């Protein structure tokens, strides 16, 4: 070995060994590169020639019996490169495509390569070398694969380095950087165009993965803010504990500290903020468990009530593990991910935390969003920080939006893949209820028609009670059950309107005109008692609305106000099932004549099946 070749070998080895390499792609593709006794042609662009030894070092560490051979031109530079890489067990095949009738040793090298492939070893080739043009496939790689009847694997690469001003923009790695090697799907009988497209795709994925490891200045700032706020978040968690909003034996989970279960494979992480999102995710959770019987699920929530809903699942404690999501502090997030090492992360609706998304991306854990929700106001707020949001949202593998408007917002913010499957809440299971309590209340109420005003907000109760009073002029036996969205308003409403309330231990009966159900988690019970229903947070601006699918799924005729901004797509889909009322008069008229208004069935959907398939395919990649 010449002095120059030795210097190149030592420096290149130092750079490659101090670079943090990650071999990406599916387990099948990675395994194919280390399979002995199976000849295979490896193709990568010429600009990655100085990075390629990292692939050899990795493959040899997995399978020591492998032998590596690489096509290198027989000119002076080619011989220098061959000398530099020979100590790593890489043997050069000197030869390249003939030009202008001049033999460059390609035929002899081809015969040698065929013998090597038939012996079950690997042969690497740069389809655009040795003189280019860059990314232009020359004859050789696909011909060698076809003659040898062995697969041709395109490999993409990206790494921290310096690009030289050569025809191929050769990349020289630098010490202590990051690098990615991304094998594409093996090709059989590929032509030049197919090989070029496959190489471009493999390199695009590798470069995207590399770009996602680089934090923007704003992401660094966010991480600093999270670290600085850690003491305050600890105090806040203790305060929530005193108020009953945290569980005493699980406070440490907010800091990423928890025992892990010995799963046979990494779990899929699903996160839902609270009760509504947990119920929304339930059919998807069931479908994933049924489709992949060996898949473990790590399910996190932000609230205790969300965790209580999940605890009712029959697979809870076996295939499903519940944790509280840690606060978005870098050290706590890393602890959490180090403990659980999920294979993928699925976020329900819009519960995205920048620090968690960034750390998942740096670990190349695919980030998926189902039932993606982004209101006009939220979209405008994100767009004010366009540079930051583009970096954040581009890290998402894909988003399955609730509807066209949400999909458009996510695309504007930089999400690469956006699906518009529809609202997952259409497929959610009916709200739970206590059947014995339902029978008891049904006996107390008798055959009276029951109007349930659900999830009402301040200012709506007056309108609803006035409309119910007018309706009783025609339907004197009408019972109105008021269910405020926030039960802590119950005492104030009970006093203002002189209403008997469930919180005070009272029950509805066969005569009272109005009853207030100011308890938590019993909406499913009162929907089943209802003859008709109104869904609140929709009568007064700005409103926003609540879930209209819940009562309609139970066959209850349902009305809402006109201010359903958070449910615009659902209102369009439910145009034949959902009635819109604007004020006291129109609500009273609907209560009197509700049986004459059309109430069609909920539209059928295969959304859960589509999402399940997409999630599992993403994990395979």
Active site residue ranges: 277
How far is the C-alpha of 438 from the C-alpha of 430, rounded, in Å? 15
Q: What one-character DSSP code corresponds to residue 343?
A: S
- Rounded CA-CA distance 73/128 in Å is 12
Residues linked to residue 299 through DSSP beta bridges, in sequence order: 270, 322
Task: Check if the beta carbon of residue 155 is closer than 8 Å to that of residue 182.
Answer: yes
Contacts of residue 423, Cβ cutoff 8 Å, sequence gap at least 6:
371, 402, 403, 549, 569, 570, 573, 607
Alpha carbon distance 270, 293 (integer Å): 17
Q: Rounded to whole angstroms, how far apart are CA atoms 449 and 468?
A: 12
Q: Which helix (H) or strand (E) holds 392?
A: helix 386-393
- Say if residues 2 and 105 touch (Cβ distance below 8 Å): no
In angstroms, how far is the first alpha carbon of the chain from the final one? 42
Distance of CA 545 to the CA centre of its chain: 26
DSSP-assigned states of every residue in 522-545: -HHHHHHH-SEEEE-S-SSSS---
Task: Write the CA distances from 370 to 120, 191, 503, 548, 608, integer angstroms.
Answer: 45, 38, 36, 19, 10
**Alpha-carbon gap, residue 258 to 252, rounded angstroms:** 7
Burial of 35 (0-12, 13-18, 19+ CB in 10 A): middle
Q: Of 183, 174, 177, 186, which Cα lies nearest the Cα of 205?
A: 183
Rounded Cα distance, 331 and 355, in Å:
10
Cα separations (Å) of 249 from 235, 244, 306? Answer: 16, 12, 17
Helix ranges restricted to H, 63-191: 76-85, 106-118, 141-148
**Strand runs (DSSP E) across 367-478, as ranges?**
367-372, 398-401, 418-419, 450-456
């Amino acid at each position: 070995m010449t002095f120059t070749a030795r210097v190149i070998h030592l420096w290149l080895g130092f750079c490659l060994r101090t670079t943090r390499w990650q071999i990406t792609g599916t387990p099948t593709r990675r395994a194919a590169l280390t399979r002995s006794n199976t000849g295979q042609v490896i193709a990568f662009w010429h600009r990655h020639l100085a990075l390629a030894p990292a692939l050899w070092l990795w493959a040899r560490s997995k399978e020591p019996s492998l032998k590596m051979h690489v096509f290198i031109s027989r000119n002076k530079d080619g011989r220098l490169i061959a000398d530099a890489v020979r100590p790593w067990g890489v043997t050069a095949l000197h030869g390249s495509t003939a030009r202008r009738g001049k033999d460059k040793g390609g035929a002899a090298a081809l015969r040698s390569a065929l013998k090597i492939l038939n012996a079950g070893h690997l042969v690497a080739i740069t389809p655009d070398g040795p003189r280019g043009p860059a990314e232009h496939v020359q004859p050789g790689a696909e011909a060698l694969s076809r003659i040898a009847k062995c697969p041709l694997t395109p490999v993409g690469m990206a790494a921290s380095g310096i690009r030289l001003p050569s025809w191929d923009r050769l990349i020289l790695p630098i010490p202590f950087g990051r690098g990615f090697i991304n094998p594409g799907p093996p090709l059989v009988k590929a032509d030049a165009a197919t090989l070029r497209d496959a190489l471009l795709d493999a390199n695009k994925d590798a470069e995207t993965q590399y770009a996602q490891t680089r934090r923007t200045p704003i992401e660094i700032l966010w991480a600093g803010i999270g670290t600085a706020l850690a003491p305050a978040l600890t105090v806040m968690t203790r305060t929530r504990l005193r108020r009953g909003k945290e569980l005493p034996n699980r406070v440490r989970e907010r800091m990423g500290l928890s025992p892990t279960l010995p799963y046979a494979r990494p779990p899929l992480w699903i996160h839902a903020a609270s009760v509504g999102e947990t119920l929304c995710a339930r059919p998807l959770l069931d479908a994933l468990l049924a489709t992949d019987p060996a898949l473990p699920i790590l399910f996190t929530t932000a609230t205790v009530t969300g965790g209580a809903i999940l605890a009712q699942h029959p697979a809870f404690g076996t295939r499903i593990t519940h944790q509280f999501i840690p606060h978005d502090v870098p050290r706590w997030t890393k602890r959490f991910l180090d403990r659980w090492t999920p294979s993928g992360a699925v976020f329900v609706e819009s519960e995205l935390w920048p620090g968690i998304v960034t750390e998942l991306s740096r670990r190349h854990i695919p980030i998926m969003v189902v039932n993606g929700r982004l209101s006009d106001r939220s979209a405008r707020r994100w767009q004010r920080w366009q540079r930051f949001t583009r970096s954040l949202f581009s890290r998402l593998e894909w988003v399955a939006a609730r509807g066209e408007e949400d999909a458009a917002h996510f695309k504007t913010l930089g999400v690469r893949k956006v699906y518009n499957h529809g609202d997952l809440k259409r497929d959610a299971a009916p709200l739970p209820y206590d059947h014995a309590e339902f029978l008891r209340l049904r006996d107390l109420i008798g055959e009276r028609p029951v109007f349930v005003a659900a999830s009402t907000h301040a200012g709506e109760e007056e309108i609803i009670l006035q409309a119910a009073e007018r309706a009783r002029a025609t339907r004197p036996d009408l019972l109105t059950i008021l269910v405020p969205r926030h039960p802590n308003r119950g005492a104030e409403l009970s006093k203002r309107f002189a209403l008997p309330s469930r919180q005070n231990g009272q029950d509805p009966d066969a005569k009272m005109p109005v009853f207030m159900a100011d308890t938590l988690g019993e909406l499913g019970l009162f929907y089943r008692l209802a003859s008709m229903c109104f869904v609140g947070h929709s009568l007064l601006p700005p409103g926003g609305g609540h879930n209209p699918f819940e009562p309609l799924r139970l066959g209850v005729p349902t009305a809402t106000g006109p201010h359903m901004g958070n449910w615009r797509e659902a209102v369009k889909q439910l145009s034949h099932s959902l009635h819109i009322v604007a004020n006291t008069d129109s609500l009273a008229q609907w209560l009197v004549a509700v049986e004459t208004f059309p109430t069609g069935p909920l539209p059928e959907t295969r959304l859960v099946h589509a999402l399940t398939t997409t999630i599992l395919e993403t994990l395979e990649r």
